[in-house]
Structure 1
Amino acid sequence: MTRIAVLSDIHGNVLALDAVIADAQARGCDAFLNLGDTLSGPLWPVETAERLMCKDWPTIAGNHERQLLTLDRARMGASDSHARDVLDERHLAWIAAQPPVLEYSPDIFMCHGTPVSDLEHFLHTVEPTGMREATGAEIAGRAGDRHEAIVLCGHTHLPRIVALGDGRIVANPGSVGLQAFDDDRPWPYRVEVGDPRARYAIIENGRLEFVAVEYDHEAAAAKAAREGRGDWAEALRSGRLTA
């Protein structure tokens, strides 16, 4: 019987990653999937890459992987530029080999945002007034003609599962490495999970369980602060953003 651990949005938080791996293994998981945005951030991009490169998990690229490989250094945000400055050619080659989507099995499809975009939110919708949970009709439209019973996505850092009318399930495991952030595309919005624990999900027999794991988030927050990222420090410490 296969128990699959589903991880997303690690963002270079190797402390959270190690805690999730240990927890998943203790729960009997014998396969791991990674939905992208693995390295970018002010934490430990190199250590995270080294931890994962030897594991050969099915891994897809998120928007941050694409940005690391395609944007000029001057156009990168602070999280991407920090990662790009410390990663070497081996790490970049590993990123470059990651596909944007993956048909993991006849029943499981992996994407970061949606099947057609690494920036579009699948289970949430961003409007001028902020972000809200997407409706079933919106989600079904984004799923399109994907036939798999389980469609996995990341990007929002928010755990959510939605069953569509035709029986398909669309699920986001939440973020391993960062429980709050803000963005301005296509309009300004904030994401706040509300506590600092690392998130992942487990799939077994077509059912999905969300898991939250304690780790040394104060050490991660201290690292972010040393790198001049007070916004990350607060998000890692509390799962919330400063006012």
Structure 2
Amino acid sequence: MRRIAVVSDIHGNLAALEAVLTDIARRGADQIVNLGDICSGALYPRETADRLMALNLPSIRGNHERQVLTLPRDRMGLSDRHALDTLRPDQIDWLGSLPAQLRLTEDVLMVHGTPRSDVEYWMETVEPAGLRPATTAEIRARAEGVEATVVLCGHTHIPRIVQIDGGPLVVNPGSVGLPAYDDDRPFPHVVETGTPHARYAIIETREDGWSAQLLAVAYDWDEAARVARANGREDWARALGTGRV
């Protein structure tokens, strides 16, 4: 049996990350992997980067790493600007060294959004009316051409597990550091988990194949919300404290 802990979308929330790492140590895992969107946010980009650089986990970059590395500062959102203004050059270099995708084993593929895009939602669909769960056909179409038994994805911050008939087990562990947000692309929508817990997943293989478990961990989200508010991010403070936008 092999157990792999999966973290994603930490977004500079060091306290949530530490709580998740403690829970992983308590439950036991052979390995921890990181699916990106590591530092951008309203909290502690530099400290989060230092913690993860020291751990040297198998990691990929998310859309926020790409944006910090490539966009002009005046085109960045507030979270990316905070990361860019806070991170040291060696930390920026570390983010730049991360691959967009990583095949962890022959069975397991790590992506941020989907295999074709770091901003595509895999198990949710955005329409003019807002966000909804993706249909089975949509999820299967987004897996076209993928050769893996398990695909680990993040980006949407919504924990979900889907076994595609004749295809991979797709696992989104949810977000370690940000349980709710809003976005205007491709249409205005909100993403909410409804609670402030830090989220992660454990996947494991046994004789009958791979399985996955979604986990929620309590931490001092009121303090995290206080820091976000002190940094001028009332949107983050509300999301961190409630799991709602």
User: TM-score normalized by structure 2?
Assistant: 0.97
Corresponding residue number in structure 2 for 1:161: 161
CA distance in 2, matches of 1:81, 1:167: 39
CA distance in 1, matches of 2:218, 2:202: 16
CA distance in 2, matches of 1:23, 1:239: 20
Corresponding residue number in structure 2 for 1:227: 231
Q: Secondary structure at 2:113's aligned position in 1?
A: coil
CA distance in 2, matches of 1:147, 1:74: 39
Corresponding residue number in structure 2 for 1:51: 51
CA distance in 2, matches of 1:136, 1:94: 37
CA distance in 2, matches of 1:164, 1:30: 26
CA distance in 1, matches of 2:219, 2:97: 30
Letter in structure 1 aligned against 2:222? E
Corresponding residue number in structure 2 for 1:4: 4
Corresponding residue number in structure 2 for 1:185: 185
Q: Which 10-residue stretch deviates more, 160-169 or 18-27?
A: 160-169
Q: Does residue 212 of the first structure (1) align with residue 216 of the second (2)?
A: yes
Q: By how many angstroms is 1:7 displaced? A: 0.4
CA distance in 1, matches of 2:113, 2:203: 19
Corresponding residue number in structure 1 for 2:198: 198
Corresponding residue number in structure 2 for 1:236: 240
After TM superposition, list the pairs within 5 Å mapping 1:101-112 onto structure 2. 101-112=101-112
After the TM superposition, list the runs of 4 or more consecutive aligned residues in structure 1 that deviate by more than 3 angstroms.
none
The alignment-based identity, stated in percent, is: 55
User: TM-score normalized by structure 1?
Assistant: 0.98
CA distance in 2, matches of 1:193, 1:21: 21
Corresponding residue number in structure 2 for 1:122: 122
CA distance in 2, matches of 1:113, 1:167: 17
Q: Secondary structure at 1:147's aligned position in 2?
A: coil
CA distance in 2, matches of 1:3, 1:216: 27
CA distance in 1, matches of 2:175, 2:231: 21
Q: By how many angstroms is 1:167 displaced? A: 4.5
Aligned-residue RMSD, C-alpha: 0.8
Structure 1: any 5+ residue segments left out of the alignment? none
- Equivalent pairs counted in the alignment come to 241
After TM superposition, list the pairs within 5 Å mapping 1:87-102 onto structure 2. 87-102=87-102
